[in-house]
C-alpha cells in the first residue's frame, strides 16, 4: 500500500511540474513575440513567474507537512509515503522548473537555429548518418524500448558531434579577408565594465527598479499595507516549531536557524522601519549585526551535544563579524588600513576579499567609444588608467566587451573571433622571452608553435621578420645582451611571424632612451605602410611625428579624434604668455593651467592655457600638440566647472 500511495504522489507531481513549465515557457514565447531577445525573454519570464511557481509549491508543501510529520501508525503506513514523495519531488522539481527547463529551452532554440544555418552538405551528411544509425538499431535490437532509447541518444549525439567538430576546427585564418583588400576597423558604442553583474542579476535589478518606480517595492506605508504580513505569521510560527523543537540533528538545526533568522528579518524589517527614525534604524541595524548572531551561538552552545563544534563555529563567526565591521569602517572612511592593528587589518582585508567575490565592485573602463581606424599609424593618447590597454585588448579579442560592437571589414569580432585572430598581432607593454636564446633560434621556435612546420617557409619568414626589424645582422647574439629597444624589436618580430595585417602595440617606447625610441618609432612607421598599426602611448612626440590619425582617451571616454594638425587647432586662442612675480606662481596655478615657466630678470615668464587673456599684458601664442593635449584632458573641464560655480554663485 505504501508503494501505491507513493506512486500516486508521483502522478500528482507530473501534473504540477508540467503546469509550472507551461506557465514559464508560454510567457517567454510571448515576450519573444513582442521583440525581446531570447535570453532576456527567458530571464524576464523566470523573474515574473517565479512567484506563482513558488506559491504553488509552498502551499502544497505546507499542506502536506503535518501529514509527513505525523507519528500515528496509520500515518506512517499510508499517508506519510505519499506526503514525503510529493514534498521531496515538488521541492526538487521546482528547482528544475526554474533552472533546468529554461536552460533546456534555450539550448534547444540555439540548436535549432544552428542547424538551420548549416550548409546543405552538412545537413545531408547528418541525415545520412542518422538513417544508417536507425537502420542498424532496427536490425540489431529486438526490444522496442532499447531501440527508442538508443535512437534518442543517437539523434542528440550526431548534431552534438557535428557541432563539436565544426567549432573545434575553427582556427585563425589570414585569408578570412582577401589579401589586397584594405583593412578598416569600425568601433561603435564600445563599453567595458569590470566587475559587471551577470545577466540574471542585471535583469533582477532592472525589475526591482521598475517596481520602485511603480511603488511596488514592498515598502509598508499604511496599516492596510502591514495587514499583508498576516499570512506570514502562521509560517513563522511553524518554522519556529520546526527549528527549535522538532529538528534534533545539529546540521539541519544549524541550517533551519539561519533560515529562521532570514525570515524573521524580512518579516520585522518593514514593520519596525516604518515606525522608527533614521538614527533608531541605524542603532537597530548595529544591534542585529552583533546581538542576533550571539543569541544564535548561545542557543547552539546550550542545545548541541557537541560543545566543541559550537565553540569553533562561534569563533569563526566572531572572526567574520569583526572583519566585515573593520572593512565597513574603512569603506565609510572612519578608519584607514595603515592605522589599524595588525590583526584587525588582516581580518578586514580577508572580509573585503570575501565581499569582492560575492559583490565585485563595478568599474567602467570604456564608455561608449566610437572610432574608425584605417590603414596606417593610429595613435591612442591618454594618461595612465585612461582605458588605452583595455581598448586594445578588446580589439584583439583578449577581453570581451560589455556593450557595443567591433567590425573588421564588416565581420563581427565576437562571431568570428577565432578566424580573425590570424589578422592580428599584439605586443603588450610587458612581455617575456627566453633571453639565453638568440633571436634566430627563439623566433624559429615561436614559428613552429604558430604552425609554420615547413623548414623552407619558416627560414624565409625568419629572414623577412628579422630584416623588417633591422636585427638580421645580430640574429645569432643572445637576447639577454640586447638593449630595451632591441628587445622590443624582437617582440615586434615575433608578432610579425604570421604576417598580421593589424599590428597592435601597447606603449612600446616606455622606458627607452631617445635614440632607441626614435628608431623604434620609425620601424612602426615602416610597418604601417602595409598594415594597420594601433599605437598606444603617452609621449606626444611619438604621436606627432608618426601617426596620421589619433584619439585621446580620458577615463574611458573619447575626448578627441582626428589628425594631429586638427588637434592642435583645438587650443587656438587659448595659449598665452605673460610675466609675473615669482611669489604669484602658486596663485596662478590654481586658476590657470601653467605649461611652462622660466626665471628671468624681471620675474617669471609663464606659458599658460586660458579661454581668454588672463591679464592685459598677456600675449597670445601659436599652440602646439602639448597645449591641445592638456586643454582636452584638463583645461576644458576645469574652466567649465569654474564657469558653473560662478553661475551658481
| pLDDT higher than threshold 70 for residue 572 | yes
Mean pLDDT of 180-200: 85
Lowest mean pLDDT among 2-16, 116-130, 305-319, 540-554: 2-16
Residues sharing a CB contact under 8 Å with residue 249, sequence separation 6 or more, in sequence order: none
Mean pLDDT of 450-466: 87
Cell numbers for 570, please give them.
Answer: 583645438
Cell numbers for 630, please give them.
Answer: 592638456
Lowest mean pLDDT among 72-81, 137-146, 294-303, 330-339: 72-81
| pLDDT higher than threshold 80 for residue 550 | yes
Hey, which bits of 129-244 come out as E strands? 185-194
* CA–CA dist 401, 347 (Å, integer): 35
Tens-digit pLDDT profile for residues 202-249: 777 776 676 666 655 555 555 555 566 666 777 778 778 878 877 777
| pLDDT higher than threshold 90 for residue 186 | yes
621, 575 in Cβ contact below 8 A? Answer: yes
The predicted model scores a pTM of: 0.69
119-133, 248-262, 590-604: which is most confident: 119-133
* CA–CA dist 281, 294 (Å, integer): 20
| pLDDT higher than threshold 60 for residue 75 | no
Percent of the chain with pLDDT over 70: 87
The DSSP 8-state label assigned to residue 407 in this structure reads E
Q: State the pLDDT at residue 635.
A: 72
Mean pLDDT of 598-617: 83
Mean pLDDT of 315-329: 81
* CA–CA dist 512, 522 (Å, integer): 14
| Strand, coil or helix: 578 | strand
Average pLDDT of every residue of the chain: 80
Mean pLDDT of 192-204: 77
Query: What is the DSSP code string of 216-241?
Result: -S----SHHHHHTTTTHHHHHHHHHH
Residue 603 zone, left/alpha/beta (φ > 0; ψ -120 to 50; rest): left
| pLDDT higher than threshold 80 for residue 645 | no
| pLDDT higher than threshold 80 for residue 532 | yes
* CA–CA dist 318, 316 (Å, integer): 5
Percent of the chain with pLDDT over 90: 5
Q: State the pLDDT at residue 189.
A: 92
Strands 549-554, 532-537: pairing kind: unpaired
Q: State the pLDDT at residue 187.
A: 93
| pLDDT higher than threshold 80 for residue 604 | yes
* CA–CA dist 187, 420 (Å, integer): 15
Hey, which bits of 271-401 come out as E strands? 363-373, 376-381
Mean pLDDT of 591-613: 82
Instruction: Report which of 155, 23, 205, 207 is spatially closest to residue 102, judged by C-alpha positions.
Output: 23
20-29, 370-379, 512-521: which is most confident: 370-379
Instruction: Report which of 524, 497, 495 is spatially closest to residue 509, judged by C-alpha positions.
Output: 524
Cell numbers for 456, please give them.
Answer: 623552407
Mean pLDDT of 419-437: 83
Under the banding of pLDDT at 50, 70 and 90, the label for residue 25 is confident
C-alpha distances in Å from residue 118, one per residue of 23, 110, 111, 112, 538 = 32, 13, 11, 10, 47
Tens-digit pLDDT profile for residues 279-294: 877 777 777 777 777 7
Tens-digit pLDDT profile for residues 253-274: 777 887 787 777 777 776 666 6
Mean pLDDT of 594-602: 80
| pLDDT higher than threshold 60 for residue 336 | yes
Lowest mean pLDDT among 214-218, 316-320, 631-635: 214-218
Q: State the pLDDT at residue 407.
A: 92
Amino acid at each position: 500500500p505504501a508503494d501505491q500511495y507513493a506512486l500516486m504522489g508521483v502522478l500528482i507531481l507530473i501534473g504540477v511540474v508540467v503546469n509550472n513549465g507551461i506557465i514559464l515557457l508560454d510567457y517567454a514565447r510571448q515576450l519573444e513575440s513582442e521583440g525581446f531577445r531570447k535570453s532576456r525573454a527567458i530571464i524576464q519570464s523566470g523573474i515574473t513567474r517565479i512567484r506563482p511557481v513558488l506559491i504553488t509549491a509552498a502551499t502544497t508543501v505546507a499542506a502536506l507537512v503535518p501529514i509527513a510529520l505525523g507519528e500515528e501508525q496509520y500515518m506512517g503506513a499510508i499517508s506519510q509515503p505519499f506526503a514525503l514523495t510529493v514534498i521531496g519531488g515538488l521541492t526538487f522539481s521546482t528547482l528544475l522548473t526554474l533552472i533546468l527547463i529554461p536552460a533546456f529551452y534555450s539550448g534547444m532554440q540555439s540548436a535549432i537555429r544552428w542547424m538551420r544555418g548549416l550548409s546543405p552538405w552538412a545537413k545531408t551528411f547528418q541525415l545520412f548518418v542518422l538513417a544508417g544509425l536507425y537502420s542498424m538499431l532496427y536490425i540489431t535490437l529486438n526490444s522496442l524500448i532499447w531501440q527508442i532509447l538508443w535512437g534518442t541518444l543517437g539523434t542528440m549525439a550526431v548534431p552534438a558531434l557535428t557541432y563539436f567538430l565544426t567549432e573545434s576546427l575553427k582556427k585563425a585564418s589570414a585569408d578570412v579577408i582577401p589579401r589586397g583588400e584594405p583593412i578598416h576597423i569600425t568601433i561603435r558604442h564600445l563599453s567595458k565594465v569590470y566587475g559587471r553583474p551577470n545577466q540574471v542579476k542585471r535583469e533582477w535589478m532592472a525589475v526591482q527598479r521598475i517596481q520602485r518606480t511603480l511603488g511596488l517595492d514592498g515598502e509598508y506605508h499604511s496599516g492596510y499595507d502591514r495587514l499583508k504580513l498576516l499570512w506570514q505569521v502562521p509560517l513563522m510560527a511553524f518554522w519556529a516549531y520546526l527549528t527549535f523543537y522538532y529538528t534534533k540533528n545539529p546540521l539541519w538545526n544549524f541550517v533551519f536557524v539561519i533560515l529562521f533568522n532570514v525570515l524573521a528579518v524580512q518579516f520585522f524589517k518593514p514593520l519596525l522601519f516604518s515606525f522608527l527614525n533614521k538614527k533608531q534604524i541605524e542603532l537597530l541595524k548595529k544591534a542585529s549585526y552583533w546581538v542576533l548572531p550571539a543569541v544564535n551561538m548561545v542557543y547552539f552552545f546550550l542545545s548541541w551535544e557537541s560543545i566543541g563544534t559550537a565553540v569553533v563555529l562561534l569563533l569563526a563567526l566572531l572572526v567574520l563579524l569583526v572583519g566585515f565591521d573593520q572593512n565597513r569602517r574603512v569603506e565609510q572612511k572612519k578608519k584607514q588600513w595603515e592605522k589599524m592593528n595588525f590583526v584587525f587589518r588582516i581580518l578586514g582585508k580577508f572580509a573585503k576579499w570575501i565581499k569582492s567575490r560575492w559583490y565585485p565592485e563595478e568599474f567602467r573602463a570604456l564608455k561608449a567609444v566610437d572610432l574608425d581606424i584605417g590603414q596606417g599609424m593610429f595613435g591612442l593618447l591618454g594618461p595612465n588608467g585612461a582605458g588605452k590597454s583595455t581598448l586594445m585588448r578588446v580589439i584583439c579579442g583578449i577581453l570581451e566587451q560589455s556593450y557595443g560592437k567591433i567590425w573588421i571589414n564588416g565581420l563581427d569580432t565576437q562571431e568570428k573571433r577565432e578566424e580573425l585572430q590570424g589578422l592580428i598581432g599584439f605586443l603588450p607593454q610587458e612581455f617575456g622571452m627566453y633571453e639565453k636564446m638568440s633571436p634566430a633560434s627563439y623566433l624559429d621556435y615561436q614559428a613552429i608553435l604558430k604552425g609554420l612546420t615547413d623548414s623552407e617557409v619558416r627560414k624565409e619568414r625568419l629572414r623577412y621578420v628579422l630584416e623588417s626589424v633591422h636585427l638580421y645582422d645580430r640574429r645569432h647574439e643572445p637576447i639577454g645582451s640586447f638593449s630595451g629597444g632591441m628587445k622590443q624589436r624582437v617582440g615586434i618580430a615575433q608578432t610579425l611571424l604570421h604576417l598580421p595585417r593589424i599590428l597592435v602595440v601597447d606603449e612600446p617606447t616606455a622606458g627607452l632612451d631617445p635614440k632607441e625610441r626614435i628608431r623604434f618609432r620609425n620601424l612602426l612607421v615602416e610597418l604601417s605602410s602595409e598594415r594597420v598599426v594601433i599605437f598606444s602611448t603617452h609621449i606626444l612626440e611619438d604621436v606627432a611625428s608618426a601617426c596620421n590619425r589619433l584619439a585621446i582617451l580620458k577615463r574611458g571616454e573619447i575626448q578627441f579624434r582626428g589628425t594631429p594638425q586638427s588637434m592642435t587647432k583645438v587650443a587656438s586662442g587659448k595659449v598665452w604668455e605673460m610675466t609675473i612675480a615669482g611669489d604669484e606662481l602658486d596663485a596662478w596655478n590654481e586658476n590657470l593651467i601653467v605649461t611652462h615657466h622660466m626665471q628671468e630678470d624681471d620675474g617669471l615668464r609663464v606659458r599658460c592655457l586660458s579661454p581668454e587673456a588672463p591679464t592685459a599684458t598677456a600675449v597670445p601664442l601659436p599652440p602646439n600638440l602639448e597645449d591641445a593635449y592638456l586643454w582636452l584632458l584638463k583645461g576644458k573641464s576645469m574652466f567649465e566647472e569654474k564657469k558653473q560655480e560662478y553661475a551658481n554663485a
